[in-house]
Structure 1
């Protein structure tokens, strides 16, 4: 009996060890993580009170739309006017129907719980596709208190844009660029923040498809916005564009999670906003010039080949899923770092990308984990303080620098093939 129990314990130990470290068990562990988080999420819904922030406003605005209003300037609610593209409206029209005109919050929470688990499953699929991350890192994904809150206790619309963007990243990683554009267009139609991926996507498409195809893909991305926004564009085009794609909107200082330590006067100063924009663009350009094209001999050679033969892909090396994911995640991270204001729900934009990004640095394991804990801490301090804000900015900076000196093209960089003669 004792021998049998010992053998059983040894077998269970070996199985647990393989789950944590053997790549062949990655999918098995991912499935267990999703199932475990499904149980945890139900406990959160059951025992943690829901907090009303924007849901009632979403439903109020939706009712105006359903009554026939198409002027974005007149579609407003208790917390303000509608400031999202038309995809947001269609998503909440469906939610309005499924939640008894927005009154059944339990149904809404269950829908968002399913959406959260979809996000978790997509993240695991992207990690598996890209590789270079140990199995046990999956155990870090369900640990965010703030992320669960954003999905099932706040019901923010950011979640829909995030999941659509994740599906797009998975598609791009597989080389399904047309599908990726459609999915990214759906994400962009809900939340303008999805534009943060576009600089990295331009590099990927140019290297993989060439100049002409890149232009066509970008036109297709713009076309999705025209198609989805058509009911509003046909009647009140300026009102729709001004309110749903407002680049000059200034967020209130009291809600920001980052840059709070600068003080309100500097935070609201237009010169500071311009400085952040310059820093954002400069950082992207530096990554484009010195990091994202190294495996192809550098950006000048890539541009030379791409401009001389615009119908052919200039890349001599195949673009792996590792490369695609690393570049898209990094592009998003850079945008988040230099965003003047980050509200608490914006954490969803990159929360599940953080472990992957940490493993694209050369930092030792304790530093990688410390960065993840520091970022989670900063997003859970409410209201934010100068300390929590400083910790967030410093941690995001450390991640960007870590990737710069680490693995900006991913951990597996293929060798270039011989260049073809023109």
Structure 2
């Protein structure tokens, strides 16, 4: 009897045949948990009121970003944010019906969990990792107790990843553009996405996808660009924005003077670019004979795919979330809502390391702990940086192109060895 129970538990936790049974239970359980959180935990006003004030000004005809401001600051998000919150403004009685807004964000959270399950299924992540998804206290808070716009960008990013995994790249680039139109943070995925598109389609198609991205941004922002293009671009896509030291989660162990200095920002940018180049040179193109051969093929025959190895769903998910993690590590400042950028990706990232189970859980737990310390401390910031770096190093020495690539490589080596043995005989 006990062996039979153990057998079924093992099957549910590890057999992909039962993946959607576990996923359905996780989604249902988390939906109930989310409703309980909204029922018993008080809502905290942070940016929702400001979003609605911005929309009030927009509805009165203001299109110059310089003149659109609210209680916590000016409008600093791209046009997609405005269009989404214009609809929310209508549905929630100009933002006054917060309970209705919470229900919308609750539905958004459940959709997010569902999309993550679909991404994990395509990447062949073990069933048991789904049990980790509902455990983040901070993520629930970001969605239903704070109503941050990061949630909308996250949904579009997740849908885009799923589309790219399915090789629906035209759909994926539109969804990715929508994510970028809500919050500029989605740009952290772009380096990994360029690698995927270049390998899968070649130079010309990659350029076409980037043009679609640019055209989508232009169409969404048309009215703002006509009014004052410089104001829109400077506010919505301000890469030099300086954040307040008091809100930083990741660099509390650095003194404020250093944190605000241009030299610190340039150093982080240099680190970001260097690590991305390292992954591009030594990790993301190994199955294609190296980055030099990929570039050579891509420029010699720009109308054809530049890669040789399959760009499978596991590769797509692994490269994109790694690209995102690199950007997060070198971000000039992380605020508490930014945890949504990668919280649900941590089980996948740790699965792409060779670390034992205990260490994987310790990394996820350390990162979750650090994001729940308020206000942040030098210790919590140092712990966050260390855990993020160890996770990235684990991917570097683990499965940076996904576990499917590793299995194919091992299979190919085995076949070569067998051929050599048979030839000797």
TM-score by structure 1 length? Answer: 0.95
Question: Which residue does 1:290 correspond to in 2?
Answer: 282
Gaps of 5+ in 2: 413-425
Question: Which residue does 1:220 correspond to in 2?
Answer: 212
CA distance in 1, matches of 2:260, 2:34: 37
Question: Which residue does 1:267 correspond to in 2?
Answer: 259
**Alignment CA distance shift 1:98-1:397 (3 Å):** same
Q: Secondary structure at the match of 2:379?
A: helix
1:264-413 equivalences under 5 Å are 264-413=256-405
What is the aligned length? 409
Q: Secondary structure at the match of 2:249?
A: coil
Q: Secondary structure at the match of 1:45?
A: helix
Q: Secondary structure at the match of 1:412?
A: helix
CA distance in 1, matches of 2:79, 2:54: 12
CA distance in 1, matches of 2:97, 2:163: 34
Alignment pair present for 1:184 and 2:176:
yes
Question: Which residue does 2:21 correspond to in 1?
Answer: 28
Question: Which residue does 1:4 correspond to in 2?
Answer: none
Q: Secondary structure at the match of 1:235?
A: helix
Match of 2:85 among 66, 89, 92: 92
1:18 Cα offset (Å)? 2.5
CA distance in 2, matches of 1:238, 1:340: 24
CA distance in 1, matches of 2:243, 2:33: 33
CA displacement, residues 104-158 of structure 1 (integer Å, 9 cap, x when unaligned): 1110000000000111000010000011x21111000000000000000000000
CA displacement, residues 341-379 of structure 1 (integer Å, 9 cap, x when unaligned): 000000000000010000001111111110000000000
1:12 Cα offset (Å)? 6.4
1:336 Cα offset (Å)? 0.2
Question: Which residue does 2:52 correspond to in 1?
Answer: 59
CA distance in 2, matches of 1:276, 1:210: 31
Match of 1:172 among 159, 164, 169: 164
CA distance in 2, matches of 1:185, 1:314: 24
Alignment pair present for 1:73 and 2:66:
yes
CA distance in 1, matches of 2:285, 2:8: 41
1:75-224 equivalences under 5 Å are 75-131=68-124, 133-224=125-216
Q: Secondary structure at the match of 1:382?
A: coil
CA distance in 1, matches of 2:213, 2:260: 32
CA distance in 1, matches of 2:240, 2:383: 27
CA displacement, residues 162-212 of structure 1 (integer Å, 9 cap, x when unaligned): 010000000001111100000000000000000000000010011000011
1:17 Cα offset (Å)? 3.6
Q: CA RMSD in A?
A: 1.4
**Alignment CA distance shift 1:63-1:11 (3 Å):** farther
CA displacement, residues 237-277 of structure 1 (integer Å, 9 cap, x when unaligned): 11111111111110000000001101211111110110000
CA displacement, residues 22-47 of structure 1 (integer Å, 9 cap, x when unaligned): 21100110010000000100110000
1:318 Cα offset (Å)? 1.4
CA displacement, residues 25-71 of structure 1 (integer Å, 9 cap, x when unaligned): 00110010000000100110000000000000000110100111111
Q: Secondary structure at the match of 1:260?
A: coil
CA distance in 2, matches of 1:21, 1:207: 31
Gaps of 5+ in 1: 1-6, 418-422
TM-score by structure 2 length? Answer: 0.94
